[in-house]
Amino acid sequence: MQPDISAAELSALAGGIHGNPFAVLGPQRQGSRRIIRTLQPQARSVHLLDARGAVLTELKPEHPDGVFVAVMPPRIRRYRFRITLYSGDTYDCEDPYRFPSGLGELDLHLLREGTHERIYEELGAHCIKLSGVAGTRFSVWAPNAKRVSVIGSFNDWDGRRHAMRLHPGNGIWEIFIPDVGPGDQYKFELLDAGGKLLPLKSDPYAQYFEGPPGNAAVVYRSNHRWRDSGWMQSRSSEPRLDQPFAVYEVHLGSWQRVPEDDNRYFSYRELADKLVAYVKDMGYTHIELLPVTEHPFDGSWGYQPIGLYAPTWRFGSPDDFRYLVDCCHQKGIGVLLDWVPAHFPRDEHGLSRFDGTALYEHEDPRKGAHADWGTLIFNYGRNEVCNYLLGSALYWVNEFHIDGIRVDAVASMLYLDYSREDGEWLPNEHGGNEHLEAVGFIRRLNELIHREGAVTLAEESTAWPGVSRPVYSGGLGFTYKWNMGWMNDTLSYMSEDPVHRKYHHDKMTFGLVYAFNENFMLPLSHDEVVHGKGSLLGKMPGDEWQRFANLRAYYGIMYGHPGKKLLFMGGEFAQSAEWSHDRSLDWHLLQYPLHAGIQALVRDLNALYRSCPALYEVDFDGSGFSWL
């Protein structure tokens, strides 16, 4: 047979460095006839079968490293291969290179623009039927790669066997692999522009992962049937600021554990039983979860994510997490999610230099590296990066029915000189320190999330104006802003010996000077009970009785002060020790009357708060508060 490709191209194909395998594999036109070529490095021989399984012809070796070729019989459209291994075993399989692209022109256009609001339905791994054949379509953005392959147990983790198709206009690589389905593990193998093999990469859009050390993505298809239609229909297109909003902040891995079973975590489904019932009994309106997006390091508490589209494997499957949210809604409890678009870790299997270039981050460390956390900063000036982040937020709201997202470390996004000395940062186009691209991203994020009937919360610790003011009036558009000033001032006041407090009353009153400048939430969060800060109880002065009395008074002040409420787990029963992510809260303390009394007080305060409109209806207007 006269070859239709050069010896060099054939060697590149066999060696796994060919950048356009769809141009030479599968059915190809050769003059007046069609040929069929396949790359099967594991095969001793390959036969072509018709749709009924009858042998049509044997493919001849074209290269000793597993390239086989044959002339296609006329009028054959559907076919399969019969692979005979060197062991003598045989199996039949489809040819992935006979299938057309599964991405439509509109999808490719929106992906190119970075405006695809349901990008999670196109990129990543999706179980579909193409041309009547079941399999999984894989897609990934890697515009500077020479070659991208899907590897997994289904191809012996061999990057030569499923090299992907490039859509040159937008850098999307894609392939449909028949017979791959839910539960199959996979990674991406990439060659950079120079042909160098990169560290294996996890799928940025993966919906599920295995745990370390493998860190492979897992093909997943949801089978959850939602039962929260009433709750979802009640979500307004505009956030209701005149409703009670009392939040219980939770780290799922340390709320409770199972000591009799090697101190393991509760699963999502166990938490749906125990945590939801507890929060309902305590009278909270919402649960806020520290990040459940996939992350490699337990000690990051989820704040250094690798997979922004995947609930962490630590507590179960994505449908298990859906079940937890569903149970919350059926009990009348909203679910908020901590979400981290400010930075990402440098783990080599993650987003860092994904295609051999600074793809998701900036090349210049003055814009792309975060010195405080040793992490990388997203490049908000790239449409595709913003689309990745916005798609993630919409994915959680739409696919998991999350009622709101709390954006972590907003201040680090807003300022180009955040935690940097002179010479360590680059000014914007106007010479200022405002990160204009991040501002644009944040505004778009808030508009999209509000449109879905969900709320947004900002952890923002500076005096940036209009954080919770509408985008149309020049604000950033968040629903609520954490009131870090109130928290710092009042905790400082409470830590003073009562004898000295008369010199510090301003710390209790100053918050009312600016209380109505933003839609504030009063946060007593996880950040106040870690890193040597001790517990809330430990911040109170005096002997044991006085510390408990001070804490009771402080909670009373919090619930009477304008602003929505947030309390980190353990604070509701006066946890004595500083919080640790490695162990359960000290629930045994509830056997002691002082701790049980704090819990009863918080339960009563939540009940009073929800039943008394004066405590929540006009939180953000001066007319809603007056001193007695």
Contact in structure between 414 and 466 (CB atoms under 8 Å): no
- If asked whether residues 13 and 115 sit together in one domain, one would say no
Q: CB count, 10 Å around CB of 222?
A: 14
Helix (H) or strand (E) holding 85: strand 79-85
Tokens of 152: 């997994």
Q: For residue 237, is pLDDT > 80?
A: no
* pLDDT, tens only, 168-225: 989 999 999 999 999 999 999 999 999 999 999 999 999 999 998 999 999 999 999 9
Q: For residue 3, is pLDDT > 70?
A: no
Rg of the chain on CA atoms, in Å: 28
Q: For residue 397, is pLDDT > 90?
A: yes
Of 456, 457, 521, 449, whose CA–CA distance to 485 is shortest? 521
Q: How many domains does the chain have?
A: 3
- If asked whether residues 510 and 596 sit together in one domain, one would say yes
| Residue 89 one-letter amino acid | D
Q: For residue 1, is pLDDT > 70?
A: no
Contacts of 75 (CB under 8 A, 6+ apart): none
- For residue 239, the model assigns a pLDDT of 76
| Residue 625 one-letter amino acid | F
Helix (H) or strand (E) holding 180: none
- If asked whether residues 77 and 184 sit together in one domain, one would say no
Contacts of 371 (CB under 8 A, 6+ apart): 419, 420, 424
- If asked whether residues 500 and 606 sit together in one domain, one would say yes
* Residue 85 is assigned to a structural domain of this protein: yes
Cα separation, 529 vs 575, whole angstroms: 10
Q: Where are the alpha helices (DSSP H) in 22-179?
A: 105-113
Q: For residue 491, is pLDDT > 80?
A: yes
Residue 74: pLDDT band with limits 50, 70, 90:
confident
Contact in structure between 138 and 150 (CB atoms under 8 Å): yes
* Residue 347 is assigned to a structural domain of this protein: no
Q: 115 is in which domain, residue-wise?
A: 105-218
User: What CATH number is associated with residue 575?
Assistant: 3.20.20.80
Q: Which one of 408, 489, 572, 619 is the catalytic residue?
A: 408
Cα separation, 382 vs 384, whole angstroms: 5
| Torsional sign, CA 441, 446, 447, 448 | positive
Cα separation, 200 vs 189, whole angstroms: 5
- For residue 65, the model assigns a pLDDT of 95
Tell me the DSSP string of 86-126: TTS-EEEE--GGGS--SS-HHHHHHHHHT--TTGGGTSEEE
Strand order in the sheet with 185-191: 147-152, 185-191, 217-218
Strands (E), 40-88: 43-50, 55-63, 67-71, 79-85
Of 431, 432, 507, 442, whose CA–CA distance to 479 is shortest? 442
Using the 3D structure, point to which of 198, 218, 238 is the last residue of a domain. 218
User: What CATH number is associated with residue 81?
Assistant: 2.60.40.10
Angle (nearest 5°) at CA 23 between 19 and 25: 100
Alpha-carbon 586 to chain mean position = 30
- If asked whether residues 596 and 507 sit together in one domain, one would say yes
Contacts of 205 (CB under 8 A, 6+ apart): 119, 120, 123, 124, 125, 139, 140, 309, 388
- If asked whether residues 115 and 91 sit together in one domain, one would say no
Residue with tokens 């599920």: 208
Cα separation, 269 vs 224, whole angstroms: 13
**Is 408 tagged catalytic?**
yes
Contacts of 250 (CB under 8 A, 6+ apart): 275, 287, 288, 289, 290, 569
Question: What is the bridge-based pairing of β-strands 455-458 and 480-482?
Answer: parallel
Contact in structure between 410 and 446 (CB atoms under 8 Å): no
Between 28-37, 243-252, 539-548, the lowest mean confidence (pLDDT) is in: 28-37
Helix axes 544-560, 593-611, angle to 10 degrees: 10
- For residue 492, the model assigns a pLDDT of 97
* Residue 134 is assigned to a structural domain of this protein: yes
Angle (nearest 5°) at CA 615 between 404 and 410: 35
- If asked whether residues 38 and 132 sit together in one domain, one would say no
Helix axes 484-495, 544-560, angle to 10 degrees: 150
- For residue 5, the model assigns a pLDDT of 84
**Collapsed DSSP state (helix, strand, coil) of residue 392:** helix
What does the pLDDT average to over 290-295?
A: 96
**Collapsed DSSP state (helix, strand, coil) of residue 161:** coil
Cα separation, 197 vs 47, whole angstroms: 32
Tokens of 580: 């640790």
Work out the percent of the chain whose per-residue pLDDT is above 70. Answer: 99
* Residue 247 is assigned to a structural domain of this protein: no
Contact in structure between 70 and 59 (CB atoms under 8 Å): yes
- For residue 2, the model assigns a pLDDT of 54
- If asked whether residues 113 and 70 sit together in one domain, one would say no
Cα separation, 74 vs 24, whole angstroms: 19
- If asked whether residues 113 and 78 sit together in one domain, one would say no
Of 206, 204, 317, whose CA–CA distance to 268 is shortest? 317
**Is 364 tagged catalytic?**
no
Torsion angle, alpha carbons of 500, 506, 509, 515, to 10: -140
* Residue 307 is assigned to a structural domain of this protein: no
- If asked whether residues 67 and 109 sit together in one domain, one would say no
Q: For residue 612, is pLDDT > 80?
A: yes
| 378 beta partners | 361
| 165 beta partners | 174
* Residue 117 is assigned to a structural domain of this protein: yes
Contact in structure between 482 and 527 (CB atoms under 8 Å): no
Work out the percent of the chain whose per-residue pLDDT is above 90. Answer: 92
Q: Which one of 184, 203, 459, 619 is the catalytic residue?
A: 459
- If asked whether residues 494 and 617 sit together in one domain, one would say yes
Torsion angle, alpha carbons of 300, 302, 306, 309, to 10: 180
- If asked whether residues 567 and 612 sit together in one domain, one would say yes
* Residue 231 is assigned to a structural domain of this protein: no
Q: For residue 90, is pLDDT > 80?
A: yes
* pLDDT, tens only, 349-386: 999 999 999 999 999 999 989 988 999 999 999 999 99
Between 98-107, 282-291, 390-399, 473-482, the lowest mean confidence (pLDDT) is in: 98-107
Using the 3D structure, point to which of 218, 240, 268 is the last residue of a domain. 218
* Residue 357 is assigned to a structural domain of this protein: no
Average confidence score pLDDT of the chain: 96
Count the residues in the chain. 628
Tokens of 595: 């701790």
Using the 3D structure, point to which of 81, 98, 115 is the last residue of a domain. 98
The pTM of this model reads 0.96
* pLDDT, tens only, 114-148: 999 999 999 999 999 999 999 999 999 999 999 99
| Torsional sign, CA 277, 282, 288, 293 | negative
